[in-house]
Amino acid sequence: MKPSIVLYKKISADLLKRLEQHYSVVQFNGITAENRTQVYEALEQAEGLIGSGGPINKELIDHAPRLRAVSTASAGFDSFDVAELSRRGIPLLNAPAALTDTVADLVFSLVLAASRRVVELSNRTKAGEWDGNAPADWFGLDVHHKTLGIVGMGRIGLAVAQRANLGFDMPILYNARSQHAEAEERFGARKCSLDTLLAESDFVVVILPLSDQTFHIIGKEQFAKMKSTGILISAGRGPVIDEQALIEALKDGTIYAAGLDVYEKEPMAKDSGLLKLDNVVTLPHIGSATAQTRYDMDALAVENLITALSGETNEFVVNAKDLKKS
Ligand code: 8YV
């Protein structure tokens, strides 16, 4: 008999077939208040769990006594109880490698859109406001040769540095726990303190995962340290930024503009203060949202699950160190 797994997202037919070659698959479209009882029932037998994001909490894990591996088709894993999985010796695998360039492309579209006021001026043009030469109060800020600071130098940070440095001749600063030799060698990136990065960067690109350490790491104090012409880009996890402080900073001119793909609450409230500001570009968390990349993320998650359930490991096990300890 094939081992049983729970799949809690829609995936393409060929990927489902690949899973079915190995496992008996019980599929759900997300985990919701309506289907939770059925999901818990299916989990009683499941040796594997695969989907995208969570919450995959202790309550859910407790319903899965036979679970041996969890695989998520996402880079982020903040909605998983990793400590509980580790305690039970269960590897959690994520899929960051599949989305790096796609998210970096989107970050760059935010850099360009926020500085050159692309969305605001497109809206004004559509509203019939273009009467002659663009007036001086429609002018934006240059991108090329400006300094770009990256907070969180991971895979995506490196791909942003590549675009900025090779494409737009931008000097790169970065703040990260450890030195990134490749970013330094290939793109001349310079590691510095967060305060120096905030003070010297024209663009502050925040691509941090969410954890207790990163929650609200950028708030009122940090905005005050940025240039008044500075632009904040956020495309990792929303709660890393104190959104209320950001709204104030955008309103009172502490900073020039922001380009956002992620928020403290998603979807954001329909009356969010962000939606009333011209100097913010607001995207609906689409960093990885191209058809190809979403397929690639699913495909990597499928391979990751197969790898883990066959007792092997790879670079995508996020709790590898903790598993060794337990
Ligand atoms: C997606 C993401 O929104 O990978 C992540 O962590 O935030 C995004 O790529 C997510 O995977 C939901 O599909």
**What residues contact residue 123 under an 8 Å CB cut-off, 6+ apart?**
none
Q: Residues 99-282: name the CATH superfamily.
A: NAD(P)-binding Rossmann-like Domain (3.40.50.720)
Cα 13 → chain centroid: 26
CB atoms within 10 A of CB 21: 8
Among residues 163, 180, 237, 294, the one annotated as catalytic is: 237
State which amino acid sits at residue 102: T
Provide the CATH number for the domain formed by 4-97+291-324 in this structure: 3.40.50.720
> 258: which strand partners?
232, 280
Does the beta carbon of 285 sit less than 6 angstroms from any atom of ligand 1? yes
pLDDT at site 54: 87
> How far does the centroid of ligand 1 lie from the alpha carbon of residue 167, in Å?
26
Distance 132 CA to ligand 1 centre (A): 42
Q: Is the CB of 94 under 6 A from ligand 1?
A: no
Q: Which one of 18, 36, 88, 285 is the catalytic residue?
A: 285
Domain 4-97+291-324 shares a fold with domain 99-282 = yes
Q: Which residue has the tokens 């989907």?
A: 51
CA of 53 from ligand 1 middle (Å) equals 7
Please name the residue that has the structure tokens 């400006």.
Answer: 146
Would the CB of 100 count as within 6 Å of ligand 1?
no
Rounded-to-integer distance, Cα 92 and Cα 149, Å: 31
Residue 48 in contact with ligand 1 by CB distance below 6 A: no
Say if ligand 1 is within 6 A of residue 74 CB: yes
Do you know the residue count of the chain?
Answer: 326
| pLDDT by 10s per residue, the chain, length 326 | 899 999 999 999 999 999 999 999 999 999 999 999 999 999 999 999 999 998 999 999 999 999 999 999 999 999 999 999 999 999 999 999 999 999 999 999 999 999 999 999 999 999 999 999 999 999 999 999 999 999 999 999 999 999 999 999 999 999 999 999 999 999 999 999 999 999 999 999 999 999 999 999 999 999 999 999 999 999 999 999 999 999 999 999 999 999 999 999 999 999 999 999 999 999 999 999 999 999 999 999 999 999 999 999 999 999 999 986 65
Nearest to 26 by CA among 37, 14, 38: 38
Active-site residue 266, yes or no?
A: yes
**Angle formed by the axes of helices 118-126 and 100-116, to 10°?**
60
Alpha-helical runs (H) found in the chain: 13-22, 36-43, 58-62, 82-87, 100-116, 118-126, 155-162, 168, 181-187, 194-200, 220-225, 243-251, 291-309, 320-325
In the annotation, is 200 catalytic?
Answer: no
The verdict on whether omega for the bond into residue 239 sits within 30 degrees of 0, i.e. cis, is no
Q: Token digits for 316?
A: 């995508």
Q: Under DSSP, is residue 150 helix (H, G, I), strand (E, B) or coil?
A: strand
The protein residue with its alpha carbon nearest to ligand 1, atom 9, reads: 288
Q: Which residue's C-alpha comes closest to atom 10 of ligand 1?
A: 74
Active site residue 63: no
Determine the 3-state secondary structure of 233 from DSSP.
Answer: strand
226-249 burial code (b ≥16 CB/10 A, e <16): bbeebbbbbbbbbbbbbbebbbeb
- Cβ of 288 less than 6 Å from ligand 1: yes
Domain boundaries, the chain: 4-97+291-324, 99-282
Q: What is the CA radius of gyration of the chain?
A: 22
Query: What is the arrangement of strands in the sheet containing 257-260, beginning at the earlier edge strand?
Result: 190-191, 172-175, 148-151, 203-206, 231-234, 257-260, 280-282
Q: Which residue has a Cα nearest atom 6 of ligand 1? A: 76
Q: DSSP state, 274?
A: G
